[in-house]
């Protein structure tokens, strides 16, 4: 069923919010969600629609928060995406309702419940732990992270904290996406036995499962974009420096950023407007106020792809090529039909030093940045070395599933004046910016790059450049026999996403292209919490 039909169904209900919702299941079939579903009127609802209900008095902020909390209590027993609910959420909602009665709306986000990842400081009754048991008893942060403060300033209700891959997936050479010592395993909402991807797994799952209006994730290297694709939502990774990292448990100041995870591009634009801005505590944001748009929603243009010149990057699989083409080529044609010119391009081959350099950059910066954060936090464990020792002493709870090799290797690194670190940073930025994304854009006179989720992720993350991914629903992947070094693989159904990437500060263009494409394709599929993806 088309998304516009669902919207009309919602608008036509007598109370403004329907008792049941028409949507699609993982097979693309029309589905009525209602019986046994707590508050089905929240399924696929947008921030703009909720804002209208609040504005016209058909909903209160308190009632909306209560509805989402009930959905979390009933549904998240399956997905385990929410670590804790903010005990002050309803009190905050009551205060916002009083402002509404006086005719005051701080922004479109006023009264809208959101969830934030558990590596974002909040100076309240919730914990901030990055999923680690080592920080469960740490002192409450002295102040909100800038992102959390911006959300509160916009009138959002921070409903709770989401689970994540512990330490944002930077602990061991192996890891289990969506697992943390504190939160256990977060489950994929489409098939509960499948990987939810990380590290912003809880944020992606909670949005996809309609447990919140929107969420905040963080990314160093794919941690917004990958779980957005895997959980069928929109993920927007901003330019490093557009959104402050102060008060966010760090990995790499060269690559870290927070960003929106939502069910629609429009909601991502609204969220980005709320959180972008200059913060004196994060030097990378010095230009943010000058560079940011006051309202990113103004770039939501149905005709946004008209006359766009986009570089198409594809990486077809070694097997099942015909099935891959049958799925993706009609989507490339939709871009063309919408008025975009597609120019097939390739990223340059990266030198042999590339992988070692990117790991060195993250390890050097992780050690320096985390030690600084822990010292300011005043926790019992004040250094990375302390955390390594804690994990060894609590290995039955923390190291039972995978190790802490990245912790140990990072601890062995020097400081940020080390020549090997400085040289790695310089090489990586030249390879991914000047000789990478910017070269492709300039040489081919392109506005942005586009392609299936894949090779663009790491390059844009290292460059610190923005990206946005639009959910394409699900695609059938045929079984493949063993061939060469490739093992046999069973038939499967997989989520898919189309990714748009640009140069620094190009969020307006990316939002425009992504929105136009989203409205053409309407690929988002509502998950139904099936127990397994295994075929009988």
199 in active site: yes
Pick the catalytic residue: 53, 81, 117, 161? 117
Residue 341 has which token pair? 């010119």
Judged on CB neighbours under 10 Å (0-12, 13-18, 19+), 245 is: buried
**Distance between CA 463 and CA 440 in Å, rounded?**
13
Strands of the 309-312 sheet, one edge to the other: 82-85, 157-162, 113-117, 214-219, 257-262, 234-237, 467-477, 492-501, 448-452, 309-312, 341-344
Catalytic residue (one of 201, 223, 252, 264): 223
Comparing CA positions, the residue from 185, 220, 225, 183 lying closest to residue 204 is 225
Indicate the helix (H) or strand (E) that contains 114: strand 113-117
What secondary structure does DSSP assign to 446-493, as a single string?
A: -SEEEEESSTHHHHHHHHT--EEEEEEEEEEE--B--BTTBPPB--EE
| Cα dist from 145 to 85, 123, 213, 442, whole Å | 18, 8, 20, 37
User: Which DSSP state fits 120?
Assistant: B
Which H or E run includes 140?
A: none
**Beta-strand relationship, 257-262 and 234-237:** antiparallel
In whole angstroms, give the CA distance from residue 82 to residue 187: 11
Which one of 132, 175, 199, 506 is the catalytic residue?
Answer: 199
Residue 21 structure tokens: 């919702």
Is 223 noted as a catalytic residue in this protein? yes
Residue 455, burial from CB neighbour count under 10 angstroms (0-12, 13-18, 19+): middle
Query: Which sequence positions are flagged as catalytic?
Result: 117, 199, 223
């Amino acid at each position: 069923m088309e998304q516009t039909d669902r919207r009309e169904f919602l608008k036509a209900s007598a109370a403004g919010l329907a008792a049941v919702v028409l949507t699609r299941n993982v097979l693309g079939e029309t589905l009525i969600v209602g019986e046994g579903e707590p508050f089905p009127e929240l399924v696929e609802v947008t921030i703009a629609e909720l804002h209208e209900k609040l504005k016209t008095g058909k909903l209160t902020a308190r009632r909306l928060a209560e509805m989402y909390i009930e959905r979390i209590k009933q549904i998240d027993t399956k997905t385990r995406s929410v670590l804790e609910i903010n005990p002050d959420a309803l009190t905050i909602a009551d205060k916002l309702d009083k402002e509404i009665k006086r005719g005051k709306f701080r922004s479109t986000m006023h009264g809208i419940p959101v969830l934030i990842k558990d590596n974002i400081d909040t100076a309240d009754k919730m914990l901030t732990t990055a999923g680690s048991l080592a920080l469960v008893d740490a002192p409450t942060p002295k102040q909100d992270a800038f992102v959390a403060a911006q959300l509160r300033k916009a009138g959002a209700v921070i409903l709770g904290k989401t689970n994540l891959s512990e330490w944002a997936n930077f602990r061991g050479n192996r890891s289990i996406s969506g697992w943390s010592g504190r939160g256990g395993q977060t489950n994929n909402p489409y098939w509960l036995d499948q990987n939810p991807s990380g590290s912003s797994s809880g944020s992606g799952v909670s949005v996809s499962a309609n447990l919140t209006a929107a969420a905040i994730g963080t990314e160093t290297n794919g941690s917004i974009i990958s779980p957005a694709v895997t959980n069928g939502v929109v993920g927007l990774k901003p330019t490093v420096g557009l959104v402050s990292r102060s008060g966010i448990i760090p990995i790499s100041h060269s690559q870290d950023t927070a960003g929106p995870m939502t069910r629609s591009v429009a909601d991502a634009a609204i969220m980005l407007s709320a959180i972008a801005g200059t913060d004196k505590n994060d030097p990378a944001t010095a230009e943010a106020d000058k560079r940011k748009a006051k309202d990113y929603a103004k770039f939501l243009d149905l005709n946004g792809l008209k006359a766009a010149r986009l570089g198409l990057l594809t990486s077809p699989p070694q097997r099942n090529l015909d099935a891959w083409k049958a799925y993706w080529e009609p989507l490339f044609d939709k871009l063309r039909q919408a008025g975009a010119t597609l120019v097939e391009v390739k990223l340059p081959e990266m030198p042999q030093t590339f992988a070692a350099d990117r790991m060195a950059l993250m390890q050097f910066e992780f050690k320096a940045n985390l030690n600084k954060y822990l010292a300011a936090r005043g926790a019992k464990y004040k250094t990375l070395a302390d955390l390594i020792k804690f994990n060894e002493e609590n290995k039955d709870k923390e190291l039972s599933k995978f190790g802490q090799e990245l912790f140990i290797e990072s601890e062995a690194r020097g400081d940020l004046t080390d020549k090997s670190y400085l040289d790695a940073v310089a090489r990586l930025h030249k390879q991914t910016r000047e000789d990478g994304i910017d070269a492709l854009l300039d040489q081919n006179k392109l506005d942005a790059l586009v392609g299936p989720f894949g090779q663009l992720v790491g390059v844009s993350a290292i460059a610190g450049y923005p990206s946005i991914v639009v959910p394409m629903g699900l695609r059938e992947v045929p079984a493949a026999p063993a061939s060469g070094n490739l093992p046999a693989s069973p038939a499967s159904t997989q989520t898919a996403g189309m990714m748009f990437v640009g140069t620094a500060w190009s969020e307006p263009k990316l939002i425009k292209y992504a929105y136009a494409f989203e409205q053409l394709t309407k690929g988002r599929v509502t998950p139904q919490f099936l127990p397994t993806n295994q075929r009988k």
